[in-house]
């Protein structure tokens, strides 16, 4: 049987998703035997620019260079896999689009020829993406299972139940019950509820479930004393670009607030 030609690349990001591939410490050496590893510039000197069966792409498009690399790789790849939150949703760097320009203006400087910022965007805003492995970073076992699936010719199936399912299985105390702003009910699981296992509320990094009850989520948060600004910021931190629905619910009031630029917090979550 011929092995699948596989490449691992990254554009602008933190390398955390590529590390999550390598951090499968018990399996990584066998794993690379299962495929024909053609490119992995993070750990490999010679990286063939040829046709791939699968390319795993970490990172978001933040400048024109990213876009050029992404487009070239898309042309060479039968299947493009968006690896991790930056590639899938734009993650925290794309949250910049919801902050005031005056917040980061001072950091922008004139750059050398060739480097030019673009709107921070997930990769599917520019090219067709065949598979998504969400998470900041994805569960390393999830990456492993994905690769095992494609090697035996099975189509990988995304996990679609909310985080709450795994969280309940782990017998965690419900953080919403404790008054914390946990986004577990509307967020796709598959992460083994890892943050809540550590008593930290879900910030929604894996993106919304298809059948989320958004209205109820907002109500639950408001009942716990969180205001529109807080809810908007929290929901947009990791997946803002994939949750346009937020605008329908809270934007009118928000715009008014932003014009005031005054923080009218009703309740602060630690205070």
Residues of this chain, 162-221, that bind other proteins according to CB under 8 A:
194-195, 197-200, 203
To other proteins, the closest distance from the beta carbon of 155 in angstroms equals 26
| CB atoms near residue 267 (< 10 Å) | 12
Alpha-carbon distance of 175 to 221, in angstroms, equals 12
The distance from CA 202 to its chain's CA centroid, rounded to whole angstroms, is 13
Residue whose CB is less far from other proteins, 3 or 44? 44
To other proteins, the closest distance from the beta carbon of 77 in angstroms equals 17
Alpha-carbon distance of 217 to 223, in angstroms, equals 10
Which 77-96 residues touch other proteins, going by CB under 8 A? 91-93, 95-96
To other proteins, the closest distance from the beta carbon of 61 in angstroms equals 8
The distance from CA 238 to its chain's CA centroid, rounded to whole angstroms, is 7
- Quick one: which H or E segment has residue 131? strand 131-133
To other proteins, the closest distance from the beta carbon of 213 in angstroms equals 25
Instruction: Please pick, from the candidates 2, 103, 171, 260, the single residue that binds other proteins as defined by CB under 8 A.
Output: 103
To other proteins, the closest distance from the beta carbon of 103 in angstroms equals 4
53 binds other proteins (CB under 8 A): no
Output the six-digit token pair for 74.
């898309």
Binding-residue pattern over the window 106 to 125 for other proteins, x denoting contact by CB under 8 A: xxxxxxx--x-x--x-----
Phi, psi of 37 (to 5 degrees): -75, 100
Instruction: Please pick, from the candidates 52, 81, 88, 140, the single residue that binds other proteins as defined by CB under 8 A.
Output: 140
Instruction: Please pick, from the candidates 78, 99, 168, 267, the single residue that binds other proteins as defined by CB under 8 A.
Output: 99
Residue whose CB is less far from other proteins, 202 or 218? 202
Residue whose CB is less far from other proteins, 23 or 219? 23
Region class of 153: left (phi > 0), else alpha (psi between -120 and 50), else beta: left
Helices 214-223 and 245-260: crossing angle, nearest 10°? Answer: 40
Cβ(85)–Cβ(124) under 8 Å? Answer: no
DSSP state of 41: T
Alpha-carbon distance of 15 to 200, in angstroms, equals 23
Instruction: Please pick, from the candidates 17, 129, 147, 231, the single residue that binds other proteins as defined by CB under 8 A.
Output: 17
Which 27-46 residues touch other proteins, going by CB under 8 A? 28-29, 32-33, 37, 40-46
Strand partners, 121: 61
């Amino acid at each position: 049987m011929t092995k699948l030609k596989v490449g691992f690349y990254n554009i602008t990001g933190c390398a955390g998703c590529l590390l999550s591939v390598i951090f499968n410490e018990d399996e990584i050496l066998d794993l690379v035997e299962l495929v024909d590893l053609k490119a992995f510039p993070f750990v490999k000197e010679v990286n063939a620019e040829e046709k791939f069966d699968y390319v795993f792409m970490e990172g978001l498009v933040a400048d024109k260079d990213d876009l050029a690399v992404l487009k070239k790789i898309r042309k060479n790849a039968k299947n493009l896999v968006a690896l991790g939150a930056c590639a899938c949703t734009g993650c925290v760097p794309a949250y910049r689009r919801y902050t005031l320009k005056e917040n980061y203006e001072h950091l922008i400087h004139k750059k050398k020829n060739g480097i030019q910022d673009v709107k921070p965007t997930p990769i599917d805003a520019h090219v067709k993406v065949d598979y998504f492995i969400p998470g900041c970073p994805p569960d390393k076992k999830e990456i492993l299972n994905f690769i095992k699936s494609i090697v035996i010719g099975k189509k990988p199936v995304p996990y679609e139940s909310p985080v709450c399912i795994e969280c309940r299985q782990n017998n965690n105390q419900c953080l919403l019950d404790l008054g914390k702003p946990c986004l577990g009910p509307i967020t796709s699981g598959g992460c083994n509820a890892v943050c809540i296992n550590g008593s930290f509320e879900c910030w929604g990094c894996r993106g919304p479930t298809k059948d989320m009850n958004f209205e109820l989520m907002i109500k639950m948060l408001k009942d716990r004393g969180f205001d529109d600004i807080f809810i908007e910021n929290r929901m947009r931190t990791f997946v803002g670009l994939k949750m346009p629905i937020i605008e329908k619910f809270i934007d009118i009031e928000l715009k008014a607030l932003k014009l005031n630029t005054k923080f009218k917090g009703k309740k602060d979550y630690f205070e």
